[in-house]
Structure formats: structure tokens, C-alpha cells
Structure 1
């Protein structure tokens, strides 16, 4: 499984400029860069000098153990928990929990975390622990519950597997309990959606064994990650786990006390990003509290975004209204009722962990640029922002089709509509359109004089004649469409071959890694491709990798 590197930008201007080090002013906003060897030593020195401003390392390791131990702790993970308890720095990155571990990019992020931690440990001569932060506090169920699989090549398309949201409040994914029946139904749907391969029986057996002890999508997601990266010692943190929430109280208090100045700092950073010529990715309103509150009865568990208004903290629908002192009391006594948004989560992560580097996708890199003012206001430093690795897994049928039509991946990513049109034109589509166009023109030229004669006899016949002509033109158009459809049917095998290539390498015109579920590739090809990625020599800002599967 060779990996070929190629330039294939993410298409996120700020992220692409940061990764390529093309804008020194932008780089200054982040403070460090992963391709700069001195950044790693500077960041480590900073962490050593700021340990007293973070949560206790022993308590942090205990909180992660409380979440991960029921899922099964490998020996490497146990060692990393001990290192974390001793204050070891971490490389951390994360994602919302997604059904069956979701699209490939999530595993790529985990691979990047593991590789970056390993490389940093070798560079610095100290243990560096890989941590995957599961954003279990997120309440976007439509994103969490979905997994996309390619359907068979004889009827190419996307098959979307989903778990319906249980009835009740729109609370976090980690607090949304699934019934045993819902989990079994999801497994049955997955089994039906996966092709029969030599890997399928063991994959399903493993998933059923894991799912049996899981009551939420977060737990199922974490159990699968724990299995996939057991040998790498990847630690898992659920942002909405009670044990972790208890450690967050002091930071929630700081965030609440500094809510106004923080909002101004985020807004200023956003303006700075825009002044550099980039679009701000996250809303940074100056009345934002940048915190969520989990409501009590009658809407128990619903996650409400707070904003500041009239000296109070309210949600936009007027369901809750708190004074600052009431919010501070919640931070101390019930931190589990509070939750971060995208702008305060980086600060909370840096308070909990000694973050050497954080692994981010392109969209995350873009909005993290807006958090620089927040870090500065609280006397913190943004960690080294490391871009996640990016890959395309090139299936055998896709590679053959690309060779057959002399196509490059960039062309596939841009869409193959033109290639399909050229194929049909070569087989006669252009001639068909030309013939029917000529026939329509000839009939129009023959009909118009007759229409003029009719209109000369009676004015009302002109309107009737035009309506009659429109009907004739529609019938000719219908016959042209049916003829073109017959040509497409005759060339269906070739068209489906091209559609299958798009579906595999760039489904619905989007990067493969953002759409196709990793479980599809596990079922079709086993986990050899994942092991190959983990063994790849690490480059912090590597170009897009293309791996041929066999």
C-alpha cells in the first residue's frame, strides 16, 4: 500500500495559508508553527512554567480513567494514563462522536494525534501522550447519527445509515440514551448495508460485542476508537463526562467572570483575521457569553446558548435568565450544567491538559485564529496548531477507471460531468442534438408561413397556431430526450463506471474523507490501510496522501 503525495489544498484559504506558511502576519496570530522545530521546545518550556495554572494532573488522569476504563484499557493506554498523572504533555485533537466512527477524516485525526505525539516525544526526549477529545457535549444529533456507505457499483449512490433521535429534550449526544433495540436496529442496518467480504463476520462480531455495553453514541464511538488504537495507547476524554466536568468548575467561573472582556477579545481577533483578508468562521458577537447551559424542568437537559443582556445571562428564547452571581454559583456547585462553545472550548482544553499541540482540521484552524485574543486575555498561550493529515483511499475499481480515462485525482474531485458528456458526444450525443435541432428549425421554417396564412383568415387562429407549435416543439424535444436516454442506456456500463469512481474518490463532489464512513473500508479491506497510515513517517504539514488499496 504505497502512499503518493500530491498537492491538494483543503480549500479553506486561512488553513491553506497557515499550513503552507505563506502569510507571516497570520502565523504571528497563532504564535507557533508545527514545522518550526523551535516551537516544540518553546511550548514545552511554557508548559513547565505554567503547570500551577492548570487542573491537577492526577485528578485529570482519574477523570479520563473513569470514562475509558469501562470501555477497556489496553496496556499502552494504562501507561499513558500514568504518564498523564505525572504531568506529561499531550497532543490532543477531537471531534463530535459519530455513528460507527463516522467519516474517514476522524480516524485520520486520531492517526495524526498518535503520530505527532510520537514524533514530539522523540524530538523532545520526554513522554508525550496522545489524547482524543470527544465533543460529547455537542447536541447536533443529525450530524452525530449519520454514517455514509457507497452502494453497490451496479447502482452507484450513497447509502445513509442513521439512528433516530430518542424522544425528549435536544440535549448533548453524551446524555442522549439509546435503547438496546435502537442499537440492535443500527447494527442490523449496518449489516445489510455492508457487502459480504472475508472481513465482515469478525467486524460485526466485534461491533456487537462492543455495542452490548454502550448506551450512547458517545460510548459506542469511544469503544470503537479504543479498539482501533489500543496498541497506540490513545487516551479518550468525553467533554461531557461528569468526572471531567467536576474539574472544569474553576475554569467555568473564570469564563463567566470574564465573559464581557472575552467577547470583546474574540470580536477583536475576528476583525484582525478579516483585516488579513480571511473570512471569520465563527460568530463572535460582543454580547455573547460563549457558554451553554443545560436547562432544568420543564425542558430538562436542553442545551441553551447564553448571551449577556441587561446585566444578566439569558438564552435567545427567554427560557432562562441568570445573574452573574447565580452563574458563578453554578460553576462551583453544578459545573455539569455548563458547557463550552467553539470559542471557549480551546481555553477549557488548555486549562485541563498540558497541551503541547492540538490537531485540527481546516475549518477548526480557521476559527481557532479567532481565539487568539481569548488566550491573551486570560494570560494563556495558544498551543501549537498542527493540521490533521489528509488522505484518499484509492480503491482498485477507482484506480482502473482513472487509468482507463487518463484521469488525475484533481479532475475527479472537480467532478466528471464533462468527462461523461465527452463520452456521450463521442458515441453520438452531439449528432443526435444536431439532428433534432436541424429538424426543429426546418419544421419551424415550414410552419411559420402556414401560420401566417391561418392568422390572415382569422385573428384568433394566430394564438391557436402558436400553441400548436409549442406542442409540436415539445414533442420533438421529448423525442430528442428519449433518443439521448437510449444512448445513455447503451453506454450505462461506462457511465456507471465513472459514477462509481466519483462515489469512491469524491462522493457528491466532496472529499472522500469528509463523507465515506471508515467502517466501509474496514469491511472491504480490513484494517491494513489504517496500520499502514500509523506506520508512515510523520511530517507535520504533509501534502495530501493517496493510498492505493488492493
Structure 2
């Protein structure tokens, strides 16, 4: 496995300013920087001395042990949980549960968590454990319940699980039947080409879905298996046992709700003052918390709709008016029914720092941008933002795609920025039928000009005749356009294999006009080459470089 590193802008100005240290105003909001070696020791010392309230370590370790054992934890992961209970620090990162882990970037985030935890353990000479935070509380099923693979045609194929009927609740509270899992795996099996890895792949997916009630369950089992040897600890933010540990922090978020809102607005104003628009909505009346409605299973069932809370004075409620609670009533919910509450993107960082002694947190480009809004909120609660570590970024190029790229003189830059033009230029250079676009465009222009005086003359015959003339001109021009497209089709048909090969390159490396890691599922690579590529990522030396790595298999 070989490769090269390229610069690929994140698309987030705040993120780029942080990563490349180009704006001290942005760096001031984050405080620490992952490339500053001394900052790791400074953060560890701060956590040691901090008097900010935190969840009970022993209780957290017990909760994590129960969850990880349930989902197939390795001995290494269980040992890490024991270390956490004894005082270890953590490198934490996460993602919402996705179908068969979702896009490749999820795995790259886990790799980054593991490698940075190992690096910090060695440099600080103290236990630091890797934790993957499954955001099972999210209710965006349209985002979580599908994934993409490239089929043989080639086409980008979307595989999905339909949202279970009922309330718009969290992913971790949405029950999936075994028949739905079976159907999803059958569709996957039909799509995947035969390979030496396919039988084992399908057997393992069947084992992971067997007895899984939710997408989060299968997601956790896959992560625990893939990264078990490296001791990755998994947790679900929507685990009721975790919610009970978070109850005091929910009370804190409710009591300080208005103060925190002002802090978010203050950070947003600072960013805007320096030319950076806020990357997350800060509603003036937002409470930055969600409340789960009642389900159908009785008084203790809170699998109803997940409703965003708004604040008006001493009252909290949803926008539709289904819920209306006073501050005291919401505090009572936090104390007695914490599983009814969940965080949004602005309070989740605070909750994460309450639950774990977070040395560093691994984030994607978009996450880094909105975490900038939490700078003052951390301070309001006597906390400080942890070290922000950008997720590693990769594009994998298999041997077949590499062969096609060489055959048609395609580079990654070509694929990213000029794929269609490259195909058109390639066609024009082939022997045989030559492009006639310019000739047809010239004829079209001449005919349009010739019709103008005729149409003016027809005006004296009345509106009906003039309209007939307009229609006649349109039909003539349409026929020219049809002939032009038919000739292009004929040229393309004669080079169909070549065009399909170039299309495969496009779909494999830059699907939907996005980086490969944001769209394609890891099953694509697993079926082609096994999991050697993932093992190679995990075993490579830790690297603080922020560049995008192009890896040739």
C-alpha cells in the first residue's frame, strides 16, 4: 500500500484557520492546538487540577463495561474501561450510527481516535483510552439509515433501511425487525460482485444483525469487532444508563440555559466580527436541548417524537405547542426521567466533557467549525474546550481504478474538477466520428438569424400566423439539437466501454461531487481486498499532518 499527501481545503474557513494556524483570533477560541506537543501535557494537567463537576468514574466504567460486553467487547477494550475507572484520560470522537458503519469517514475517525490515544499514552506516560461516542440520540433517519456502493454497471447504488413506522424518535429507539435486516443483507448480497471475501463478509453482517434491535446495536457491534484489538471503547449517548449519569449535567444546562445561550451568541459574534459566519443555528429562544415524548408502551416508554425545546422566560416548550414546562418542571424531568432529555450540537460538547475526562476530541471539518461556538460556553461552566484533533482523511484507489486512470491520463485533480470535460476531450481525440458541435451551433445561429425578418413580416398576417411561425422556428431548431445529440450518442456508443471505465473512476473517487470518504461504504473495499487496508491504517505510525492522503492499494 503506497500513497501521497495532497492539500484538500475542508470547505470550512473556520476549520482551515484552526488547522493551518492562519488566524490568531480563531486559535484563541480553541485555546489548544493538536500539533503543539506541550498542549497535550498542559491539558492533562488542567484535567488533573480541574474542580469542574464530572460524572462518577466508577459508575461510568460500570455502565461502559455492561454496554461493551453486550456488543462483543475485546479484552483490550475491557481493560481500557478498567483504566478509565482508575483515573485514565480519554480521546473521544463520535458519529451518529450508520448502516454498516455508514460512510468511510466513520472508520477514519475511529482510526484517528485510536492513534491519538496511543500517542498521548506514550508521550504523557499515563493511561489514555480511545472512546467512540455513538450519537444514537440523533433522529435524522434519512441520514443514518442508508449507505452507498458502486455497482457493476457502474452506478452509485443506495441501500437503505426504511424508518420504522411511528414516532420521529432517536435512531437508538427505532426498532428494526429481523425480517428487515434480512432483506437489507439480501439486497447487499445481490449488489456485491463475487469475491473471495464476500462469503465471510455476509456471514459476519448476518451475525452482527442477529438479535440487534436497532441500527445503533449493529453499528456498535461492527465497531467493537473491527477495532477490538486496539481497545476501542464504544458507548451510545442514548443508553438509559448513560442518561442517568448525565442527570446532574442536564440540571446544570437547564439552570444556566440563558447564560449559555448568551455565551453561544457571544462566540458567534466574535467569529462574525473576524469574517466567519456561524456554522450552527443559534436561535434567540433556543434551549439547545431535546425532549422525548411519550411512547405507546406505558408510562416509562419515552420513544415518542424527539422535540427541540425553546425557552420563553421561565417556560420551555416545543415550537408546535405540544409541550410546555416550567423551569422547575424541566429540572424535575432531569432528576427523575433523564432519559427523556438529549443534547443538540451545542450542548453535546459540554456533556461529553462532563461525562469523560476528555484530553482530546476527534472531529470532522464541519464539527470543528461549530465547536468554535462553544468556547465561551465551556468557560461559563468552569470548563475548557479539550484539544481539537482533525479526523484523518483518505482516498483509496484500487488497482482497477488506478489502471483506468493511467489508460485515460486521469489525475485525481481531473476527477475532482473536470471529469466531464476530460471525457469530452478524450472522445474528440478518437479516430472515427468527429465532434460536430461547432458546426451544428453555427447552423443553429444562422437559421435563427434568417428567421428574424420572416417573423417580423408575418406580424402583418395576424397573431395566429405569427405564432405559427414561432412554432415552426422552434421545431426546426429542436430537430437540429436532436441530430446533434444523436451524433454525440453514436460517438459515445462506439466508445461505451471506455466511457464506463472513466465513469467508474469518477464514482469510486469522487461520487456525487464529494470526496470518496463522505459517500461510499467500507463494504466496497472489504469485498474487493478484505480488511488489509484498514489494518494498514491502524498500524502506520502516528502522523500529525493535516493533509489528505491518497492511498494506492
TM-score (norm 2): 0.94
Shift of 1:442: 6.2
Corresponding residue for residue 389 of structure 1: 392
Q: CA deviation at 1:400?
A: 2.0
Candidates 410, 423, 432, aligned match of 1:420: 423
8 Å contact kept, 1:386–1:541:
no
Q: Is 1:221–2:219 an aligned residue pair?
A: yes
State the SS of the aligned residue for 1:106.
Answer: helix
How far apart, CA to CA, are the structure 2 residues paired with 1:429 and 1:38?
A: 65
Moved more, 177-186 or 437-446: 437-446
- Closer/same/farther in 2, CA of residues 6 and 443 from structure 1, 3 Å limit: closer
CA gap of 1:63–1:423, structure 2 versus 1, over 3 A, is: same
Change (3 A) 1:51 1:149: farther
Deviation at 1:93, TM superposition (A): 0.1
Question: 1: distance between equivalents of 2:44 and 2:444?
Answer: 76
Say whether the 8 Å CA contact 1:103–1:147 is kept in structure 2: yes
Please give the alpha-carbon distance, in whole angstroms, between the structure 1 residues aligned to 2:502 and 2:328: 62
**Per-residue CA shift, 1:210-236, capped at 9, x if unaligned?**
211211000000000000001000000
Superimposed CA distance per residue, residues 493-534 of structure 1 (whole angstroms, 9 cap, x where no aligned partner): 222222111100000110000000011111111000001111
Corresponding residue number in structure 2 for 1:546: 550
Q: Which residue of 2 is the match for residue 104 of structure 1? A: 104
Q: Indicate yes or no: 2:341 matched with 1:348.
A: no
1:8 aligns with 2:8: yes
**Aligned pair in 2 of structure 1 residues 429, 461: CA closer, same or farther (>3 Å)?**
farther
The 8 Å contact of residues 415 and 502 in structure 1, kept in 2 or not, is answered as no
SS across alignment from 1:522: helix
For residue 15 of structure 1, report the CA deviation from its aligned partner.
0.9
Quickly say closer, same or farther: Cα 1:15–1:430, change in 2 above 3 A: farther
CA contact (8 A) 1:51 1:354 kept: no
**CA deviation after TM superposition for structure 1 residue 410, in Å:** 2.5
Rounded Cα–Cα distance in structure 1 between residues aligned with 2:195 and 2:23:
48
CA distance in 2, matches of 1:134, 1:472: 60
C-alpha displacement at 1:488, in angstroms?
A: 1.5
| Separation in structure 2 between the aligned mates of residue 144 and residue 443 of structure 1, nearest angstrom | 53
Q: Aligned-pair distance for 1:469?
A: 3.1
Post-superposition offset of 1:3: 3.0
1:302 matched residue in structure 2? 305
Runs (5+) with no aligned partner, structure 2: 297-301
Match of 2:299 in 1: none
TM-score in terms of structure 1 length: 0.95
Other structure's SS at 2:436 match = helix
Q: Could you tell me which residue of structure 1 aligns to residue 383 of structure 2?
A: 380
1:156 is matched with: 154
Residues 81/462 of structure 1: CA separation in 2 closer, same or farther (3 Å cut): closer
Deviation at 1:465, TM superposition (A): 4.0
Q: Does 2:486 align with 1:488?
A: no
Call closer, same or farther: CA 1:358–1:441 in 2, change over 3 Å.
Answer: closer
Cα deviation 1:275-311 (Å, max 9, x = unaligned): 1211211111232111111112689521111011142
Unaligned runs of 5+ in 1: none
After the TM superposition, which of the residue ranges 537-546 and 346-355 deviates more from structure 2? Answer: 537-546
1:75 Cα deviation from its structure 2 partner? 1.1
Q: Deviations over 1:440-498 (max 9, x none)?
A: 46666777788899889999755544433332222222222211211121222222222
Worse overlay, 288-297 or 103-112: 288-297
Choose from 486, 505, 520 the match for 1:516: 520
- Alignment partner for residue 369 of structure 1, among 357, 367, 372? 372
Instruction: Describe the SS at the equivalent of 1:187.
Output: helix
Given candidates 180, 183, 190, the residue that maps to 1:185 is 183
Deviation string 1:237-287 (CA, Å, 9 cap, x unpaired) is 100001111100000000000000100101111111111211211111232
Q: CA deviation at 1:418?
A: 1.4
CA distance in 2, matches of 1:106, 1:141: 17
**Counterpart pick for 1:279 among 277, 292, 296:** 277
Structure-1 separation of matches of 2:492 and 2:6: 34
Report what 1:322 is aligned to. 325
Distance 1:458 1:84 in 2: 88
Map of 1:251 onto structure 2: 249
1:324-351 CA distance string (max 9 Å, x none): 0011111111111110110000000000
What is the CA-CA distance between 1:372 and the residue it aligns to? 0.5
1:524-543 equivalent positions in 2, closer than 5 A: 524-543=528-547
Q: Would the aligned equivalents of 2:278 and 2:373 in 1 still touch at CA under 8 Å?
A: yes
Q: Which residue of 2 aligns with 1:406?
A: 409
Alpha carbons of 1:439 and 1:208: their partners in 2 closer, same or farther (altered >3 Å)? same
Contact 1:91–1:128 at 8 Å: present in 2 too? Answer: yes
More moved, 400-409 vs 187-196:
400-409
CA distance in 1, matches of 2:212, 2:51: 35
Could you tell which deviates more after superposition, 379-388 or 205-214? 205-214
Higher mean displacement: 234-243 or 297-306: 297-306
Q: 1:187 Cα deviation (Å)?
A: 1.3
8 A contact 1:307–1:316 mirrored in 2: yes
| Alignment equivalent of 2:291, drawn from 282, 293, 307 | 293
- For residues 384 and 326 of structure 1, the distance between their equivalents in structure 2, rounded to whole angstroms, comes to 36
Matched, 1:207 2:205: yes
Tell me: CA distance 1:445–1:253, structure 2 relative to 1, closer, same or farther (3 Å): closer
Separation in 2, partners of 1:292, 1:484: 54
Q: Hey, what does 2:54 align to over in structure 1?
A: 54
